[in-house]
Structure 1
């Protein structure tokens, strides 16, 4: 048996891997607010072959879609002319879609029913490489799994050649997940909120500086990433890239703190908000989305958010709370406790926020006091 070809092949593979490893060690992270290419573990995505019947996108050129049957040259030219006319019409964007803002917060307002928008938003996240771990059309809430932004890994010719081999080797050490909430502000008008949470892998070293192990820790919220996906969602719903980018890039309003924590006893208190009920309801919802709260349901009329909260201390994890979230033995849902977060109007431009237990009784415990503190911190950011 001639082993020479096998030996040559083995040495070639070793040489390529050695060159690639050297190149990768010298790579620098490439960061850009609008360059995101997420990858979820186990995500299997195919091309998006269909759009909702009422959706027209400026990016889709119907001249390149193969039609069934035969057509004459005159029919083809007529169809091409009609296609050009359609494209010139949608270049102005679709009516009834805009970016609303309050200080540093942005959200999307679309003049369409939430039931019609929900499946389109769901497809949007899957098309961008995310798996959904929460998918609740009845409540208008969806949440992605943790995913890595692969665009932060520099792509050179070596990586392009050995991408399949090296895909699992190079890692940015960062993960992101996104919550999306659809709120019905008025009949046939929907508000869409996107909030981001980040995790960063850090090394725990001994006294000599040697890395003992790594842990996942919380990374500050990134409003720019939220803005990127708001822009992409507007494009997905039919607006041109230029218009969507201009709307998102418009200057934000001044940052004005609106929340004040009022302590009434050792474990008693509430939050005062200097805003109308509608604005307070919106701000509390965003504060819940950006923390460890999981909104299971809500009743806007009664001013109640039904939530679950996971206290990192309850997990008993000495290597970081986020380690559990990436583990196959995640028991965080078993440790979660249920609460009610109440938003109560006290005037035209004032409201109070209370925390109650699952039975709707005041949560005058250290846990309830801690939840109010966390919410106050989020509401003042």
Structure 2
């Protein structure tokens, strides 16, 4: 009897499910397929400003970035598979804000895009009564009105805030420029200096802004118009003549300093260098992640690699291709090299001019590496740029 009741309940349940499918699924059902709904959407006219007014300030609310060659050349005869994506510079779950310094230059580094930084900087200036005289969102520039410090009424001062793309993807830099003139009446027109009039007053605003941005725990908005600030990141991997190379868009001092820093991290060590010529002789040994077992504490390494080469950079440079031969250098075949045999390591060449440098990574004889190996090592270097 129990088996018959159970069987009837099962049959009734299946009947309900089959019959109920039409209620829940289908064109007129609750859970109908909505994939094609966008085709029925009405078109609306774009936003217009009143006649006689300038509409250029509106810009494109959703700019589409141009497609550029990066990471690898699809026409390359050496390409095999899609390369691994670039590692993020910082932890997305925690916003990092810190002050970077190179010689006398200091700036704020944030691991968010310029589109997120722009409204937060504007908010900081408003909250601290720093009136904005002009703002050029396309260039990431914010200029303040002339103001006076209560502690020193003998001068009149103003600030320029530059928001720019960082070296790593999805990072931003904030630079401060300070200008001071004698007297309480500022000049009608004054050119911005190349460097701050007072490093002390520049540092004051930089420190205050960094502290305020770090203390701000609220989730800020994103300026769609500010997404294109600064163009591309200040570093990137591209392919030139079927060879992976790294582009660095920094001034000479910072380009050499940040590259020198990267060449001492994550398994890299410098044998020798000719800094003025932008040539470095490196050793590389992949650093394995520490085992979290009990024995790992007994044999922990600080990650530094110390090796020596039997040859100097000056010796190796005598066999490195030059001029056009450098660009068309053949692939590396170290076992066939008769002069300075079995030379270990790699050569790094920094070529170009301030603001537009190209980094080539070659074998110890200046010959081209396998593209996959070159891209892998350049990726490690790029990750450690600051």
Same fold by TM (over 0.5)?
no
Which has a greater percent of helix? 1
Give the number of the structure whose alpha-carbon radius of gyration is greater.
Answer: 2
TM-score, with structure 1 as normaliser: 0.31
Query: When the two structures are superposed, what TM-score results if normalisation uses the length of structure 2?
Result: 0.30
Higher strand share: 1
